[in-house]
Homo-oligomer: A and B are copies of this chain.
Amino acid sequence: MKELITLTTIKTAATRLTAHTHLTPLLTSTTLSTLLGPCPSTTTPRTLLIKAENLQRTGSFKLRGATNAITKLLESDPVGARQKGVVVHSSGNHGQAVALAAKRAGVPCTVVMPRDSPGVKLAAVEGYGATIVLCDRALTSREQTTQEIVDRTGATFIHPSNHPDVIAGQGTVVLEMLHQAAEMGCPLDTVIVPVGGGGLLSGCLVAGKSLLPNLRIVAAEPLLADDCARSVRANEFIPAGPPKSICDGLMSSMGTLTWPIIRDHVDEVRTVDEASIVKAMRVVWERMKMVVEPSAAVGVAVALFDEGFKAREGMRNVGVVVTGGNVDLDCLPWGSMK
């Protein structure tokens, strides 16, 4: 199945995205590079480069996969897509992304959301013009509600990660990073990508390894949601347990499309504890002046605070995908704000 996602499908996705997504900046910070520290043996300084997908439209990289999937659907069935629309179940970034992508394409969109979703998330999806259908929080309720909508309306279901067009869309992140880093005179040798369902990671693996076989791609995962690390260690798929981490975007299991790509191509999976994630998140807010969500800080936590990762020789320019910035400003995970 792996061949469903190739460098060609990712490059095609990139051309579909140009009018719809921001070319987000690749940013450096002396403070963060200093925290990463120099190469252990040579003491050559190393540079950290942050791909700021929190500055992407809808506040996350998810718009890439959503836009690619909907554009491709329109290309293959323009009348059907506009009549029957699309449906997702998501209380998070994928829901907002599909809602906006569908609105721009003139495709009706239904987002199935738990009825206890925060008001700000409901408002965002509604603001993008989608129809919201409320359900219970349990995954089975969401899936059942979604399936009923598919059966009744013929709408196309767009999975948040285990979908070839979504994966190809997410893979465009690495195309941009490699290009931008080279332009800045800092060609990447290492890229850190957070992993949840694995859509972003598998897309980045296909794009990155196809263009630069020696590019080292490291997955970053919360220790409290470490199904990818355990699966890679066991060399067999182990589903995610019940959600425990602060990283609400990284709770889902890998899928039948994403897991084989990750298994075959990821160089390493690094896990970080919750305290390191919050610390990394705060460093980005304080020093880079960017609002990033916990799930987006996991890769930064690896680069700044994972001594095992930092001890590696031969790294020079390390790119990190900072995946999103959708966070409740009234409920921040540090000290007096709790």
Contact = CB atoms under 8 A, between A and B. Distances in A.
Contacts of A332: 329, 337
Contact of A290 (B291, B330, B335): B291
A30 to B, nearest CB: 7
Nearest to A55: B289
Nearest to A331: B336
A57 interface: yes
Interface string A27-39: 1101000000000
A329 B285 contact: yes
A290 B55 CA distance: 8
Interface in A90-111: none
B30 A55 contact: no
A289 B330 contact: no
A55 B288 contact: yes
A198 interface: no
A330 B325 contact: no
Interface in A27-66: 27-28, 30, 54-55, 57, 59
A130 to B, nearest CB: 16
A292 interface: yes
B325 A289 contact: yes
A154 interface: no
Interface string A1-38: 00000000000000000000010010110100000000
A75 interface: no
Contact of A335 (B54, B286, B330): B330
Interface in A101-157: none
Contact of A329 (B27, B30, B282): B282
Contact of A334 (B59, B292, B329): B329
Contacts of A27: 22, 55
A329 B285 CA distance: 8
Contacts of A25: 25, 55
B329 A286 contact: yes
A289 B289 contact: no
Contacts of A336: 330
Interface string A249-291: 0000000000000000000000000000000001001111111
A336 B337 CA distance: 8
B57 A30 contact: yes
A22 B27 CA distance: 9
A290 to B, nearest CB: 6
A176 to B, nearest CB: 14
B337 A59 contact: no
Contact of A289 (B30, B287, B291): B291
Contacts of A57: 30
A289, A291, A325, A332: most-surrounded residue (chain B CB, <10 A): A289
27 contacts: A22-B27, A22-B28, A27-B55, A30-B57, A54-B289, A55-B288, A55-B290, A59-B287, A59-B289, A282-B329, A285-B291, A285-B329, A286-B291, A286-B329, A289-B290, A289-B291, A289-B292, A290-B290, A290-B291, A291-B291, A329-B332, A329-B334, A329-B337, A330-B335, A330-B337, A332-B337, A337-B337
